[in-house]
Structure formats: structure tokens, C-alpha cells
Structure 1
């Protein structure tokens, strides 16, 4: 910009150079920033409206500039703690400031502010330091503390106490602790990292429980403020008696008998020891002896408080018939004193061991096509009891294609005994029952899972054998048409399916050029846009193939039907404009109301509602003179032609279809109203002259004229018929015909044509769905070539109508 301005100055002179220099000055002032050298210090907790400082004076601003330049203060702390008094230019407190909440224990608490001034824009940074005041007292979280000390605690022992908390900082923070007067205790302060002070209770003299059992102390925390604030905590010291008595059991040996089938938790005996001491010196805890074996600890347990002994695990006479367990009773004194006793447990033998089922070898997965007799696992039965109680028999429940084959000495082989089908059952939970020979017998059941390995014996199966897809024409290429889905009852790779399209011809072109299928999920996408007028539908043969070895596959047919869209405007067949000239018609000025001027004929390449055609008169030289039939396109006079009507009439006829959105086209007709043309016969018949010889001659002449016109019409019709026959043999573009529908979805739709005069007022034929645009042109050419201009005269049409 500066270089461009210099170049301009060289061209336009000194005055513009001065303007450029002034512009640069304002640009620099616009973004000028004054360093934050202005700083104010205020105490916390000031009332709203308290003055911080004269901001306008410190920034060198007049009072008028505060309002004119829209001076405002923005806080970087989030809250708007300050405002500017526009009348005085002073910075004032906007809301209460709590330094302890804002800056917590930080030694420095500074709020940075941005002063914004407009016209020109200036930014000033100022700082407000918040000074701490002593507005918080030291506080103990625990107001009452209980300490227990033994009577023999050594002098000088220290006991850490809870420290007080003070949110204030600096000189207002916590400084010291004071303990209420007691000859046995004092308080010392221990400094730790971070400047924290931890009070410790120090024993100054030996304790004597007999003189004073409880000491009530008051700990006071003081801060350094002026005046100082304080907080207190009550400390209760309980002096404990010396431990000089051992726990004593009533018996040295206790004997217990218990059945080996007793349940866990069964109480065996409740031991009790006594201690003559008081307090914790007399409190006793029970436990097993120090050298008790783990095998005992796993079977027995004892309540440490009550001394009750109970079963923790299972007893087994065959493993151990008796136990000798040492018990210790220990008090909670200092030092600890203990007493001892022994418990002898005698186990009574019963048949309490159920037989066990042991897997000699883990069950192996078996293929679903495995032959009968395939070994799955080796199983054995055992019982820890002796004699008949230890003899075991294994049995297999029915309902599974497996059986147990005895081997030797309670050993069995689990083998297949039938056909396996993984799709019916991928895993068999085989229940085996073991029974001993005791009376009454004990049984055990165990479930053995056997998994079946999949074999690729199921082809993929489509959810439908055929799919119907309805697709609008003119769709975007790459859009999804449909999605096919197949499932496979097999597992793993045998169930993984890939989709493909089998080669198939559509209009002599491979179907792969029409659609694409995602091999992973079966989604079918279009390769290009489809035109209903060229293609009504086609078939897709989709194959689903699994990844098994060997792979299996199945097919499904997708029928794609193209739906017609209203993408063709009506095409005018008659009248046709030759070489860009307007089609014109002649009519006599003596025409009466209802006279057939001409007939507009159009076709629409679409189908259904999209091809329903309607006609309307859009514009006319004289709208009161002509009308157009909505459905046939016939143009007729609405009234008789008068001498005042223009001899040249121009009609704009709009042809619309019934589609959505509506498609339309127009045709312009030029009509010449001429004098001297033959009057319509209808008008002649309406006049009834008086009988005379002259009128008789006129009647005779009229009859001869009508006969001549009729003969001429007959000859014209014969000529048309002959030409239609010839043309139908060569091009098939004239004479009404209906193309057969060959049943194939790819064939063209039905086509109707007419070779009758489009001006015939008795003709209600409508052209529906021609084969192609070329056929439209051929038909127009045939009509133009077949019919001479005289054949389309309105007089002959009118006379023919009369005949």
C-alpha cells in the first residue's frame, strides 16, 4: 500500500503525499499499545464503588475523551471486578473481591486489566494487586482428639497432632501453637516442606495413672495478623495401666469329636482365657500357634475375639483321622502377654466323599463329518473313600450322539455314536454321572463340553430367490440400486460370503457395464444413468460364494424395473413448421361459430400420466374468436367472423403433459381470414329460398358440386391407403399398428400411430408413446408428402362433414 501510495504521489502531487503521511500516522495510532506500567494496590474485601485510582489522569486522558472515545475496562480474570466512572475517570470496584478464593495461597495476587479506547483504537494494560487482609482464623478440622498413652511411656516422646489451616497468606497466615498449662505435656512446632507447621505433643514428665488417669488439654493455633486470630482443638490424653498379668485358659488340653462330613462353618468349641489386667491389658485375641501347619489352617479357623473354633474346610477321615492344634491367647498390653492351650480334634469316619470324575485327557474338538466310534476324550472315576465306598461306576445320559466305552479299572473312552451336525449343535455339553457302591450311594455329575469343528456342507442361501428393484430413470451414476443378502449356516471361512454378478447380456451388452456389486456386503450400484425410453428393465444374476474348500455357491435373480420420469416435453406432429416458417391455415370470413379451423396433434415420449396431453390457447390476436379443445387439440371458432376482424390471426397454443413437474411445448399458428372462399354448406342449407326454376338449377349445381367433392375425397383416401400400405411394408411409419410386447423387460413399450387426417373433426385418435424421435419425423414426412394442400382445405373438410 505504501509503495502504491508513493507511486501515486509522483503522479498527483504534494497534496496527496501529505494525505498519505496523515493516513500512516492514524494507522500507527490505531494499533498502538502502551505497556502495562500502571499498577494499583488495594486490599481485598473493598465495598462496591470503592475507588482504585484515577485512571483518566494516569493515562493522560481528559474527562470528555472517556465518553467520546468509549473507554472501557476488560478483565482477564473472567469476572468484571472493576468499572470506570465516566464522570470522574476513576477506576472503581464493581463487585466484592475475595483474595483467598481468587489466588488461594499464592504470595502474589495481581489482576491484569485491558483498557480499551476507541477512535483511534488504543489498548492499555494495567494491573491491580490485591493485598491480603486478616479475615480468616486458623481452623482445626477435628475439634476433639483422643490420645491413649501407656503409663510407662518414656519422657520426651512426641505425638504428632493435627495442624490448623489458615487461608490467609504472609503475615496473616498461621504462626504458632499454644498448649494449655499441664505439668506433663508441652507443644513443639515442627517445620516441614512448603512452610507448613506441624504441632507435636511432647511428654515432659512420667505419667502416673494412679494420680491422674485423664489429661484434658487445649491446643490453640495463632496467626500473625493484627489483631491475631486463633482456633482451638480439645485434646484428651488417657493414661493406660501397666500390663503385668498373662491370659490364662481354664484347661491346658481340650478334646473335640466331629464327623468328617460336617459342613463348613460348623462350630467345634468356644475357648476362653482370662486376664486380671484392666483396659487393653485385659483385652485378649485368640489365634493358632506360630508353627501351625497350613493343612490345619485350611480346615480350621478361630474367631480372634470370641475364641470360637469352627470348620473352615472339609474334613476327610482317609486323609487325617485326628488333629492336634495349639491355641494362643494374647492381650493388647505393652508389652504383650500371652497364654497357651491345645485342642485335640478326632474325626469320625463316614461315607462323605462323593466320587470324582477325572478327565485323563481333555476333550478334543471333533469334525462334524467324523465317523462313529471316534475317540473324543479319556475319562476315569475315583473315590477317596475306602472299600466299597471307593468303587465308582460312570454312566452317560441319553440324548447325545456319544457313548462311554469301558477300558480298565474305572477308565472309560468317550466316543461318537451317531451323526454330528454343527449347524444343529456347535457344542455338546455331555453330562456324566459317577456313583459309588456305598449304602446309601453318593453320586457326582460333571458336564464335559465337546465342540464340533465345522465342515463346509452348507451353501450360501439368499433371503429371497428373486428381488424386484424399482429404479427411477435419470438417476445419478454410482447410486445404490439395491442390496442382496445371503447367509451361510457354516462357521468361519466356510460362512464368509463374496458376492459377484454372473455375466449376462442386456441389449447385447454385458450386464457388468450396467451395474457393479460390492463383493463384501452385496450392495448393487448403478454404473450410469438409465433412460426409460431406451431401456424398461433388465435382469441381474447374483452369485453368493463362500470361502470354504471346496467353496459352495447359490444364485439369485434381481429384476430391475426402470420407472418413467417426466423428462420429455410433448412433441408437435401437426402442424409442422417447414424450414422455420410458421404453419398457416386459411378460413373464409363467412365462418360461423364452431367452425373447425385445424387440429393440433402432439405426442409425448413418456408413459402413463407423464404422456397425458392437454391443449390450451396461450395467446391469440383475438382471444374471443378461437378456442382449443383441451383433450383433442381441435381449434374452432367461438363466434362468427365479422368484417371488423383482422384478416391475419396468430394463435400460440401450449401443449402440456400430466407429469410432475409439468413439461410443455408450444406451437404458433398463422390463420388467414379471406373473402371469396366457398361458404359452408351448413349455411346454404339454413337458407330456404322460394321455389323457382332458378333455385332448382342452383340446387342441381350444388348436388353436382357435392358429388364432385365426394369423388375427389374418395380418390384422395384411396391414394393415402395405397401409400400407407407401401410405407408400412418398408418403414412401418404410417397406418395404425400396435407393436407386440415380447415379454422381455428389455423390449420397447407399445406404439400407436394413425394415418388419418389430423384435421378430421371426427378423428379422436391420440398419438401415444412412439418408438423414437426418428419415427416422429418419418410420420411427419409421410403426412406432408401424402396429402396435397388441396386435401387440407377447410372447405372440403366442411363439405365432407356435411356429406
Structure 2
């Protein structure tokens, strides 16, 4: 029952409260002139206005209004009275009619055409339309003639707090570095309120945090969010959810509110050093592993992320620093240990390394926490492997004289099995490198012998490959190159370097150099060639020529006298003995041909044959050739003339088509064979001279007999 009573009282007083709220803006208007009267019927207000009218001089008549107000969202049982239009021309005789036009006239606002009362017949929303402009007019009720000029007025919709704040861009995300100091700004958020920010506190917002304390705080008016705790650690908690509230009415009780969420992520800083997962690592590796092979991996974990977790790895100590290296894997963030030099199980069976992991990017703010690095120990055990034989030298150089005897030992190679259980070794020659099979090798001791004779002049070097194979495991083999140099012995005599031919001028002078010759030797002595030249013993006192040794190891031939003559002797042969400096020395005899020639006054050779010598003096070789050509041409003309003459006389001998030779065969069937052939010359039948008696008598008689028979 009390609840029902309260509802009845609320229904009764609500229109009165709304009327009380609405009327003051209509009452307190700008000063009115004497011709205006308030639209309200309050006696107190009428007395006040009447007093004002008595004070002011009445200048003209007009409308009585200024601005009108209507409360939004009012929904009473009756239309709400907005205000009243009234003109001082209205004596109350009800002869005036009020007309309303403009925004919402007739649909939202309705006027009583007799009293001028304006009512809002619909529920209004200021956020949709804040004010309406209308036009009022008073006309005569009977004639509809205007009593006053039309006049505009405004009805404003008065705001009430009917819109809650809204965060239009939420939910929000922000990032702040971990370990930030207290009060570090994170971000700011903004809410909007559709209510009127000018009228009242409906749009005055105050911000607060509902969830996210004590880590973050917010400034109530600016909504700037800051850290409320210093040194928050990302590794402890990376993400925080903050619930933010915006409340209107200045945060007072009864205001409306809206909320949003802010996700704050702590970004990483390098505040943690790397840490090895274990302090000691063990790895095993075969001794025959290939260089560059990865032996193992070590990893230092870092609670940081990204580049703050990147570390470089180094070997800082140990007995294997020369054999091993470590590289950093940027993707896996670990260190890879690799082999730099070959291992030998028989020499050393284990190694110890000390490795270090250090951060690459250091944050100076946290350097006081200590070095951002860590160390670990790595033990590497070398395992035995079946290794191939090892030669005592990576290459061999052998020397042998070219006159070495067959089957003589020219050198030896040695190899051993480096394994603990050493296997015997067998040696062989790779015949692809010794196609002519000039060498042999002892399979047991590796001694190399000569199989075929050598000739340094044909080949100075021989390169072969020796193979060493384990007897217990034929797959374990090694190869070594062997270079064999053939040493020279003096087995070739010297001789002329080329085929020399000397020319001696008849008008030469005594002591003149006729020719300079040099010698060559296929051998190659260590100290170079040195030749000795001499004449044959029986020609040691040669009356015509002598020889002279030059400093460049060549020989000059000189003439002893002048007056050499081609008619007397055209060619001289001078044997020269050439000896080398070998041990024992070898020699050979080479003969120099010297031709006597006719030369010009300046020593230029012109002719070297005897026939040219007997020609008329002053006649050149070109002139002789021209004369000879003319003679040959003349002979050719004579032969052609005789031949044409013979062809012209042939019809005088043979007058018909019968061949004379056929007649001879017919009438001389029993000839005497060769005797007849010798006695008869068929050419006579075609030669008129033979008929005229130039042949022997017996031939003429035979020809005459034949001719008679033929007739």
C-alpha cells in the first residue's frame, strides 16, 4: 500500500515539477516593451511586469515572447506546455486567431489558436535536434487579416542526462618497456558523451580504473594512464588487463558511466644475462672426421627475447683452441663447435675447451648487475678410426742418370699405418702415370727400379704416382706423387748449329772473316757448354784458311791470302773438329763448304758459277737472259714455219683418198720381216724429198717397184 501511494504521488507531482522546470526560462526573458505581456498567468509575474510597463514609455505594440524551452525525453500523460503566445492587441474578446508554422509545427508542436498556448505533443531528443525555429502570426478571426507582422521564435530542447559516456575506439592496446620507472606514461584514452557539454554536468566526465591496480593509475580528467609500480618485470608477467571507467555528472552519484579495456604489454629490455643450460658438455668425434664438420652444439638460454637475447660464442681457453672453433647460429641462438685441423687419436685422445656466451646488445642501465655473459666447459673425446697409410713425405723427388743400368734402384718411398694395430703396407705404381712402364717398385720395401733405358734428350722429367695399400684392409689406400729427374751424361758429340755455306769473294783481302759458325750439343752440362774447335791434323797447315775461337763460344773462318779464282777452284771443303768439355769429352767433324764468288767492289756477292766468269766483261746476267730468250723465240718461229710448209705440200703426194699404207700391205704379203722394215721407211711416202732422191738408192728402188705395182 505505501508503494502504491508513492507511485500516485509521483504521478501527481511529476507534471508540476516539469512545469516548474520549464517556466523559469519562459519567465526570465529579455526586457519587454510596454506592448508585450507575458504568456504566463502567474499573478506575481504579472504584477512585476505591470510595474515595468508603468515605468517604461509605451512605444508600440508587439508579440510577447523571446526563447522557449522544452525538456527532452518528457513523457507525461498529457502534452507538455511549452509556452504561450499573446499580443497586446488581444482585448480578450476572442476575435484573434493564432497561427503557428515552421519546424515541427502541427507535428511536434501544437498551438491553441484562441489562447496561444503551445504544447509539445511528441517526446523530444536533444541529441537528434537541439532547437526548432517557428513563425507565429496573429490574424483576425473573421477576416483572417494579419494583425501583426509574422515573427520568428526559437524553441530549444533542454538537455537531461540521458546518454552514458562511450569509448568509441576501444578496446585499447598499449606497450611500455619493462623496468620502467614509476609514473611512466603508458597511453591515454578518451570517452565521448552525447549530452550537452554546456548545460549542466551531463557531459562532464571523470575517469577511474576499475581493474588493473596497483600496477597502473589514471588521471581523472585527462585519462592519461601511467605506471603505478616501478620496475615491472616482463619475465614475471608480460601482459596486463586494465578496465577503465568514464562517469559523467563530474563523477557524482546518479551519473551515467561507460567502461573499456586496455591491454598493456611490457616490451623487453636486456635485463637478463645468458645462462648455459649445463656447465659441462661432452662430445665424441672420430679422428678421421672431415675438416669443418660440426662436433657439437652448446646453448646459453636468455630470458630476454629478440635482439636482447642474441649472444656470441667464443673459445676463451683450453688445450684445443688451435684445433677447434665455435660459431654462432643466429636462428637457434646456440654455438656450433667445428673442427679446424686434423685429429690424431694416436697423438692425443681428448681435449678440454672453455666456451663463453656473451650478449651482443648491452643495455647500460643494467650493466651494474654484472657481466652479461656466462661460461661452460666442453670435453671432446677423440675416437680411433682405421686410417689409410701415411707416407713419410707428401712428395718425393728422385734423380737418376740417363745411362743408369736396368733394374738399378733409383729411390725409395716409405709409408706406415698410423693406427695402433699397424697393418703391413704394399706398394704399387699407378700405371696410368707410367704408361710406358719405365719403372718398377718393390711391393714390400717401396724401392723404385729402372725398367727401360732413359734418354734425357727425349724426356727430362717423369712423374709417377705410388700407391700404398693396407694388407688387412684393401680399402685403406694412400697416394703420393714421385717426380724423377733424368740427369745428363755426356753421350752426344757437338756439331754445327745449322747447315752453313760460306762465300769467298775473289777480290777479298787476307785475314777477312769468311764465315762465323757456332756449335750445339744435345747434352746439358751443369756448367754450360764450352767447345773446342780445330782443323784436321793433316790440314793443320792449310794454306788457304785459318780459324779463330770467339769469346761467345763461336768460331770465325778467315782467308789467309787473296787472289782466289773460280777458274782455278770453285769450291773448297774445310773439315772442322768440334770437341765438348764433357767427361770423357766427345767430338765430331763437320765440314764447311766455301764457294768462290764474284763480288762487287763493296763485297756484295754477284755470281758464284764458273760459266758466268767467261762471259764478255760488262755483260750483266739480265742481259744474258734476254739474249737467250730471243734465241729461243727465234727457234720457235723457225719450227712453226717448217711445220706449216709441210702441211701445205701434203696434197701433192696423196691425191686421192686411198691410203698408201694399205697398198703396201696388200702387195707385200711375203715381206722379210725386220729386214723389210729396215729397208722400207713409210715416212718416205709423205716426204717429197725422199722422192726427189734424198734417201739411199735401195730405198728408192723399192719404193719405185711398189708404185708400179700399185699402178
TM-score tier, shorter chain, comes to 0.3 to 0.5
Report the TM-score, using the length of structure 1 for normalisation.
0.34
Report the TM-score, using the length of structure 2 for normalisation.
0.38
